[in-house]
Copies of this chain bind each other. A is one copy, B any other.
Amino acid sequence: MTKAIYPDDKRKLVEDALYHFFPAKDRYPEIIYKAMRHSLFSGGKRFRSVLCLLTGEAFGAEIDEILPTACGLEYIHTYSLIHDDLPAIDNDDLRRGKPTCHVLFGEDIAILAGDALFAEAFYLIASSQTKVEAARILKVIEELAYASGVRGMVSGQVADLQSADKQVKTDILNFIHERKTGELITSAARAGAVIADASDTELEKVTRFAQQLGLAFQITDDILDVVGETDLLGKEVGSDERHNKATFPSLFGLDEAKRKAKEAVDNAINALIDMEVDTSSLVDLAWFVYNREH
């Protein structure tokens, strides 16, 4: 079984671009910039941005054509984490080994820091893409907004809230994961391909790849919450069980969950067969997801 390492060179590119795009100096009122910065720069794999970069590059886009969208994805992901962690929602005090936004800055500022990051995502993508055809950027915005909206991330989060403390069935578990994390991961890969002007057939294959990659990502996330190490994860293991969350291990057991993750990775890699471009970096990313320890 292939064990791939994470593309840290791409992560570094994203990290540098985030520092480049995010206002360097706090304006008035400073607290909101501090709160946004705290959550945006608290580490993390930058998985969605890296996936967007790798896909865009595979289809021939220049890195600086993809970076604003990649960073916008990171803004959207960070906003969703800030709001998920709120006392009224998941009530989590710790994220990536650091206090969550509302713990440090208060609930009001945390809500607004999330709101601001969401707005800045669209501002960044719409304003920084002069090299890419406007119609393609518009398509990227449409897809990211859809993935974040009521038929995407929000419906997944609401279904997740409604399922707490209940025994849910497989279809609800799938709904939650597809919407809550799957849609944005799929959009990340599609956005890269759209910026690179990939063909409809290529886009279909990328979509299938990313959907299965997202599924694998979610299953391994659930597994790590059971068997992972707190130090590596930056959050306490067992939090899903304490929150009575529906997960793959709770529904199917650890062994079957691991088998499903492998199946999803295989499906993801198979989706890329017969492509005319070099997709080896995407195959490596799929293997990383399967073998990841954090």
Residues of A within 8 A of B (CB): 23, 27-29, 31-33, 36, 83, 86, 88-89, 106-109, 111-112, 114-116, 118-123, 126-127, 133-135, 137-139, 141-142, 144-146, 148-155, 157-159, 161-162, 175
How long is the Cα–Cα vector from A140 to B116 in the complex, in angstroms?
Answer: 18
Please name all residues of chain B whose beta carbon is closer than 8 Å to the beta carbon of A144 when the two chains form the complex.
122
| Complex: chain B residue closest to A114, CB-CB | B115
Please name all residues of chain B whose beta carbon is closer than 8 Å to the beta carbon of A145 when the two chains form the complex.
119-123, 126
| Complex: chain B residue closest to A148, CB-CB | B119
**A168 → chain B, closest Cβ, in Å?**
12
How long is the Cα–Cα vector from A142 to B157 in the complex, in angstroms?
Answer: 27
B108→A27 contact, CB < 8 A: no
**A137 → chain B, closest Cβ, in Å?**
6
A89→B118 contact, CB < 8 A: no
How long is the Cα–Cα vector from A155 to B115 in the complex, in angstroms?
Answer: 11
B112→A111 contact, CB < 8 A: no
A123→B142 contact, CB < 8 A: yes
**A242 → chain B, closest Cβ, in Å?**
18
A154→B31 contact, CB < 8 A: no
Contact A158/B29 with A36-B150, A120-B149, A122-B145 known, Cβ cut-off 8 Å:
yes
**A235 → chain B, closest Cβ, in Å?**
20
**A35 → chain B, closest Cβ, in Å?**
9
**A67 → chain B, closest Cβ, in Å?**
17
Q: Which 5 A-B pairs have the closest CB atoms?
A: A119-B149, A123-B145, A88-B107, A126-B142, A122-B145
